[in-house]
Structures are given as C-alpha cells and as structure tokens.
C-alpha cells in the first residue's frame, strides 16, 4: 500500500468527488507531477454521453408536434400537459440518479465536478424533463470548455428561457427577468450594471424563445430592433450582441473566477490579488475554463494548509464521496432522493436562480445529525427515518408518490476497503484510515474514543467499524 498522501486527497476531493478506494493504490503509485495531468486528461478523453431519460410519450408530445409544424403550446391540451408533468416528475428522478451514478463511477471526475458547479451557477427549476436533460447536456459538454460557449448554450436553452420568462419578453411588453439574471447572476454580479442597462438589454433579448421540442427560436416579429445602449455600447443590439458585451467586460471574468475559486479552493478566504491574477489570465485566454483550472491546480497555494480540509461538502459531494470510498449498491436507489431532499440539495431543483448558497448554509442541527448518522445507517441497513417537506411546484397539490421509499439497505463491497488497509498494523489503523478519509493536512483523530466505539472482535470488523465511525464525524464533512 502506498502512503495516504494528503496532497492527492486534496486534489481528488476538490477536482472530483474524492478518492475511489478501488483505484487509490494505482493513483498513489504514480509520481506526484502526473496526478493533475491524469485527472485532466481522463475528463478530456471522451465527450459526455447524452443522458436521454425522457419518456417516449413526452418526446412524442413535444417533438412530434414541433416537427409537423403546428403552433406552440396552444396545441397541447390540459391532458397532454398533465401527462408531460407527471412523466417529467418520474423522469427527472431518473436523470438525477443517472447523473449521480456518473459522478460516482465516471473517470471524468473533473468534468462532472465542474458540471455540478455550472449546474448551480446556471440554476434553473423546470419540471419539463426534455428541457432539463437538454440543459444538463449543454452544461456537461462545455463544463471544461469555453465559458462563452457555455453561457450562450445555456442562454438559448429552453429550460433557462422558460425559467426566466423570456418567452414572454416581447417588443410590446418587455420582461426583464432574463436580462437581469444574466447580468446579476451569470456574468457581472450586482453593482456592475444599472437598471437602465437591464431595461435596454431586455429589449435586445425580445424575441428569444424556444420551440416545443426545446430548440431555440428567434421570433423576429417579437423583437425590438431599435437602438439600445447596454453598458456603454450603442447600436441595434440583439441578444447575441449583449452576451458579447458582457464577455468583453473584465468584471465577468472576475465574477466567474471568484465563484470558481470559492467552489474549488476556499469559500471564505478569497485573496483579491489572486483573483485578479487568475481573472486576467482567464480573460486573456478568451474564457477558456481549462486555463483557469490549470492555473489553480498547478499553483502552490492550492495546497496551502489554509485551503485544505476546510470546505463543507455539499450533500451531493458527501454522498458521492461516501460511495466512492465505500463501494455499495443500494437495494432501492430512489432512497437517494429522500437523502438529497433531507440534506437540502436536490439536483435540478436549486432553491432559486442564485443556486445553492453552500458553506455553512448546508449545516443546521438536523442536516448535521443526518450527515453524521448516514454511515451508521448504511452499516445497520436501517431506514432513512426522516420525513421531508413537500414540493408543491412538483406535486401540484397531490400527495407525494413513492413516499415510503426510504429503505437504505445496500450491498456493501468491503473487500477493497479491507485490501487497502491489509498491511496497516492495528495500532496505526485509526490514524492511517483517518488520513485516507479526512481531508485535513495532518489529521489527529481521538484514537482512544474511536477505539472504544469500534468492534474489535475481528480484524475485518475493526476495519469496517473504524471506517464507519471516521465517516460519522465533523471532520468527514470537510473536503
């Protein structure tokens, strides 16, 4: 067994979902300077496959009608819309679970980790499965590519246009929602534009809409082709022009860099000179996301103690990380939906267009206790004994289907864990395992307490219960 390098830990947690027990030895045996290129290249090796989970009936309704050239929405009657809604609700769960499987098993860790970031950045709640899976693909496809392409793709997606009401943004009745959020949340941030800029930009986006099948459409008759002034640029601006103007602003690079830094490096300590340096290079590269990631990964400060083991994992990071460390197969995968809901991060259902706030916001009494009890529940094969809140946007006043799916029984594959610590002498076991599971630079677990609460009757049970208890700690909540 190779050493429990905290440096490798850190890299795999921040640019992925943590080490995978089955491949730790392989990673750790490689020279340190090959870790980042390996991580990067494994994500660039292949394009993401399109997750297509939409029910064929939904596709028939949305795509069929679009193709034979009928008009929009009006042609769907109430029964059609109900069917789309109900099928979408089920299909969205499938998409959610499928994506988590990908995060857990994919070698493209960096891509999926960044896709999760962009999923929160370009947050949209939309119960139409076709639009959501299209949007997810845009995000995964461009997660490591060019930010401009990503933003344009998202801005022209049905999911976002619908969520931010741009279908209603017409020459005669401008709707500012989309224009406002593009500036406030996607590019510049508050304070770098005026209300007048929002008004003018909204006019430029008039006519941007989508067909029933999700394709972007520019409706010329709804477009205001008059002269506008946005952020000092004047002309007969259209939506693409506005996005271009936003990318020309250095503030967009700074905004994106700051947020990325908080996600990957440190969510409280953000040195502005470092942000400025990264933003300059990001901007000069023409918004190449990989430029930014390389700059972070290859820096010394990325590994500095103040940036290590001090970020509270999001619920999805925590759970996917557990599954990578402890290979398991749930009898009832849908129980993971209960988990997401109870811990406050349901993929495809961000709290609002600002995304998940993160950091300490993940933690309150009940979410912390559930996080701590989770490994023990897995070990005991017990049910998830939490009731979660209803979501009226999804349920439309109906009682929740499948509410009883809380069984948390799983077939745990212990052998890789036992193998990994095969040669660790018993008196070093707690500390060595803590080094593997905890992300802080030099973990010092309270050995005697942990020993008192582990099953020491056999070597195997000792390793198992030590792992469970080390995961059931405040330390394990951090990456």
Partner 1 sequence: MLIKRRDFLKSSSLATASLMLPKFLKAFEAPGVLPFKGKTLVVLQLSGGNDGLNTLVPTRNDIYYKQRPRLAIKQADALALNSECGLHPSLTGLKSLWDEGQLAILNSVGYPNPDRSHFRSMDIWHSASPADRYWQTGWLGRYLDAQCAGNAPTKGSCSSVALELDDTLSLALKGEQVKGLAMQDAQKLHRATRSPFFTAYSEAHGPVHDDEAPIDYLYKTLAETLSSAEYLFQQSRKKTLAATYPNTSLGKSLKTIASLILADTDTAIYYVSLGSFDTHVNQGGQQKRLFVEMNDALAAFAKDMKANGKWNEVLVTTFSEFGRRVSQNASGGTDHGTANLMFFMGGGLKQQGLLNPLPDLGDLDEGDLKFKVDFRRVYATLLEGWLGADAKTILGEAFEPLGVV
**Residues binding partner 1 (CB under 8 A):** 78, 125, 180, 268, 310-312, 341-342, 344, 349, 351-354, 357, 359-361, 363-369, 372-373, 376-377, 379-380, 382, 385-393, 395-397, 399, 440, 446, 449-457, 461, 465, 468-469, 472-475, 477-478
List the Cα angle 215/259/353 in 5-degree steps. 45
- Closest CB to partner 1 among residues 279, 370: 370
Residue 218: which H helix or E strand, with range? strand 216-218
Q: Nearest to residue 146, comparing CAs of 277, 243, 52, 262?
A: 243
* Min separation Cβ 325 and partner 1, Å: 18
- Closest CB to partner 1 among residues 102, 200: 200
By the 8 A CB rule, do 358 and 267 touch? Answer: yes
Contacts of 55 (CB under 8 A, 6+ apart): 87, 90, 91, 129
- Closest CB to partner 1 among residues 298, 360: 360
CA 197 to chain centre: 30
By the 8 A CB rule, do 1 and 433 touch? Answer: no
* Min separation Cβ 395 and partner 1, Å: 7
* Min separation Cβ 163 and partner 1, Å: 9
Per-residue burial over 12-42, b = 16 or more CB atoms within 10 Å of its CB, e = otherwise: bbbbbbbbbbbebeebbeeeeeebbeebbeb
By the 8 A CB rule, do 21 and 325 touch? Answer: yes
* Min separation Cβ 185 and partner 1, Å: 8
Count of residues in the chain: 479
* Min separation Cβ 248 and partner 1, Å: 25
* Min separation Cβ 380 and partner 1, Å: 5
* Min separation Cβ 66 and partner 1, Å: 25
Contacts of 352 (CB under 8 A, 6+ apart): 123, 125
DSSP 267-335: SS---HHHHHHHHHHHHHTTSBHHHHHHHHHTSSGGGSGGGSS-SBPPHHHHHHHHHHHS-EEES-TTH
Sign of the CA dihedral 310, 315, 319, 321?
Answer: negative
* Min separation Cβ 265 and partner 1, Å: 14
- Closest CB to partner 1 among residues 279, 322: 322
- Closest CB to partner 1 among residues 34, 398: 398
- Closest CB to partner 1 among residues 17, 379: 379
- Closest CB to partner 1 among residues 145, 189: 189
* Min separation Cβ 291 and partner 1, Å: 29
- Closest CB to partner 1 among residues 245, 378: 378
- Closest CB to partner 1 among residues 289, 468: 468
* Min separation Cβ 114 and partner 1, Å: 22
- Closest CB to partner 1 among residues 60, 446: 446
* Min separation Cβ 167 and partner 1, Å: 15
CA distance 371 to 340: 11
Contacts of 378 (CB under 8 A, 6+ apart): 322, 326, 328, 408, 410, 412, 468
Q: Compute φ and ψ for 146, nearest 5 degrees.
A: -105, 130
CA distance 89 to 238: 35
Alpha helix stretches (DSSP H) within 298-446? 315-325, 335-343, 365-380, 392-395, 415-420, 426-437
Helix axes 109-121, 78-105, angle to 10 degrees: 140
- Closest CB to partner 1 among residues 56, 457: 457
């Amino acid at each position: 067994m190779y050493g429990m390098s905290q440096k490798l830990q850190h890299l795999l947690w921040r640019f992925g979902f943590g080490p995978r027990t089955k491949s730790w030895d392989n990673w750790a045996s490689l020279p340190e300077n090959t870790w980042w290129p390996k991580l990067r290249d494994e994500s660039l090796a292949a394009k993401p496959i399109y997750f297509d989970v939409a029910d064929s009936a939904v596709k028939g309704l949305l795509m069929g009608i679009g193709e034979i050239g009928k008009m929009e929405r009006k042609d769907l009657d109430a029964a059609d819309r109900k069917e789309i809604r109900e099928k979408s609700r089920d299909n969205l769960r499938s998409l959610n679970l499928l994506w988590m499987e990908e995060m857990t098993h994919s070698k493209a860790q960096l891509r999926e980790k960044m896709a999760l970031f962009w999923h929160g950045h370009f947050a949209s709640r939309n119960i139409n499965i076709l639009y959501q899976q299209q949007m997810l693909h845009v995000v995964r496809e461009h997660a490591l590519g060019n930010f401009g392409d990503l933003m344009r793709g998202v801005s022209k997606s049905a999911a976002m246009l619908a969520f931010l009401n741009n279908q209603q943004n017409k020459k005669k009745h401008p709707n500012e929602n989309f224009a406002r959020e593009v500036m406030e949340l996607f590019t510049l941030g508050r304070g770098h534009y005026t209300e007048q800029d929002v008004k003018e930009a909204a006019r430029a986006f008039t006519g941007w809409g989508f067909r029933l099948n999700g394709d972007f459409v520019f409706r010329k008759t709804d477009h205001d082709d008059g002269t506008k002034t946005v952020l000092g640029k004047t002309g007969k601006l259209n939506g693409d022009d506005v996005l271009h103007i936003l990318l020309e602003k250095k503030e967009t690079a700074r905004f994106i860099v700051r947020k990325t830094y908080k996600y990957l490096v440190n969510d409280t300590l953000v040195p502005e000179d470092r942000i400025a340096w990264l933003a300059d290079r990001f901007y000069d590269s023409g918004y190449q996301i990989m430029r930014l990631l390389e700059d972070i990964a290859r820096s010394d400060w990325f590994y500095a103690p103040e940036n290590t083991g001090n970020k509270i994992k999001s619920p999805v990071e925590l759970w996917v990380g557990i599954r990578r460390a402890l290979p398991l197969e749930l009898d009832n995968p849908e129980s993971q939906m209960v988990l997401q809901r109870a811990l406050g991060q349901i993929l495809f259902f961000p709290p609002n267009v600002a995304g998940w706030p993160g950091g300490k916001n993940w933690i309150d009494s009940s979410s912390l206790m559930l996080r701590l009890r989770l490994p023990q529940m897995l070990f005991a094969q017990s049910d998830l004994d939490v009731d979660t809140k209803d979501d009226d946007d999804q349920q439309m006043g109906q009682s929740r289907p499948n509410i009883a799916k809380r069984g948390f029984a799983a077939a745990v594959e212990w052998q890789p864990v036992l193998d990994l610590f095969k040669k660790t002498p018993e008196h070093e076991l707690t500390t060595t395992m803590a080094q593997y599971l905890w992300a802080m630079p030099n973990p010092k677990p309270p050995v005697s307490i942990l020993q008192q609460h582990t099953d020491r009757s056999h070597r195997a049970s000792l390793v198992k219960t030590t792992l469970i208890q080390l995961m059931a700690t405040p330390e394990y909540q951090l990456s």
